[in-house]
Amino acid sequence: MKLVKHIANLGYGSRKQVQMMFREGRITDADGEVLYADDKVEPQVIRIDGEPLDPPPGLTLMLHKPAGFTCSTKDVGRLIYDLLPPRFRDRSPVLSSVGRLDRDTSGLLLLTDDGALLHRIVSPKSALDKVYEAELAQDLRGDEAATFASGTLMLESEDKPLLPAELEVLGPRRARLVLHEGRYHQVRRMFAAVGNHVQALHRSRIGGLELGALEPGQWRMLDAGDLERLFGQRG
Ligand code: URA
């Protein structure tokens, strides 16, 4: 691919703007030699204003989404993309979140520009666990684990019962829930179905991949080992 197109696709600007960056001598190799738009070089050697280029397509990252941020590229209020380098929302192929977390949910969110990978993660065939910790408005009654594990719980306006899910009680108003599917507002609707209300919700794991030490708002790129962990789910 031509350098101008490659750099524009990484979100550095329109092709016209990138051509201008070449003319201004802002694009160099690793030794500071000015590059020209029709040079043939590997993207790894390119520097823009002395900085290495952002990663090429195939970018997958995990974000510790704080509560209060919306999973969208354009919406009112604070967006998950505000937590990433600004260019990331202008990349082509587009960097999308893998599913969504509600605005008020915190925790592990994956983003990728690899469409095949995204489909594999969300596919029911992969059946990746999603682990949530919920804080509740009311004390647990004691029958929730059996209801959630039954495989018969129907959510309002759905025509198929939920798959069995595992509930672990962490306190009178705290619980961990392991889901094997992803339906709209699923955790909130499940607790509503048993007469409770989720006050705070956090996702700590998808498949075998944990949020780990990432602080709210922090993100990191995933490597091949992370993807192996993601699909090599633990029980
Ligand atoms: N279930 C919910 O209700 N909300 C989320 O954000 C994720 C799962």
The reply to whether ligand 1 has any atom less than 6 angstroms from the CB of 204 is no
Is the same domain home to 28 and 79? no
Largest CA distance in the chain: 69
Is the same domain home to 169 and 190? yes
Mean residue pLDDT across the chain = 96
Is the same domain home to 201 and 134? yes
CA angle, 79 then 187 then 84, to 5°: 20
Q: Calculate helix-pair angle for 224-231, 115-122, nearest 10 degrees.
A: 30
State pLDDT tens for residues 60-110. Answer: 999 999 999 999 988 889 999 999 999 999 999 999 999 999 999 999 999
The CATH number given to whatever domain includes residue 186 is 3.30.70.1560
Distance 5 CA to ligand 1 centre (A): 38
Which residues, 6+ apart, have CB-to-CB distance to 170 below 8 Å? Answer: 133, 176
State pLDDT tens for residues 204-225. Answer: 999 999 999 999 999 999 999 9
Is the same domain home to 146 and 212? no
pLDDT at 68: 98
pLDDT at 234: 60
The CATH number given to whatever domain includes residue 107 is 3.30.70.580
CA angle, 184 then 195 then 197, to 5°: 60
The CATH number given to whatever domain includes residue 27 is 3.10.290.10
Is the same domain home to 115 and 65? yes
State pLDDT tens for residues 164-216. Answer: 999 999 999 999 999 999 999 999 999 999 999 999 999 999 999 999 999 99
Is the same domain home to 133 and 157? yes
List helix spans (H) across the chain.
3-7, 15-23, 115-122, 144-149, 186-193, 224-231
pTM strictly above 0.85: yes
Is the same domain home to 215 and 187? no
* Domain region containing 14: 3-52
The reply to whether ligand 1 has any atom less than 6 angstroms from the CB of 109 is no
The reply to whether ligand 1 has any atom less than 6 angstroms from the CB of 129 is no
CA angle, 182 then 91 then 210, to 5°: 40
Mean pLDDT, residues 40-69: 95
Is the same domain home to 146 and 200? yes
* Structural domains counted in the chain: 3
Is the same domain home to 120 and 225? yes
Is the same domain home to 70 and 120? yes
Q: Are 218 and 61 in contact (CB under 8 A)?
A: no
Atom of ligand 1 nearest to the CA of 102: 6
Is the same domain home to 163 and 213? no
pLDDT at 139: 98
Atom of ligand 1 nearest to the CA of 101: 6
Is the same domain home to 8 and 45? yes
- pLDDT at residue 235 tops 70: no
From 182, 167, 176, select the one nearest 210 (Cα to Cα): 176
Distance, CA of 25 to chain centre:
36
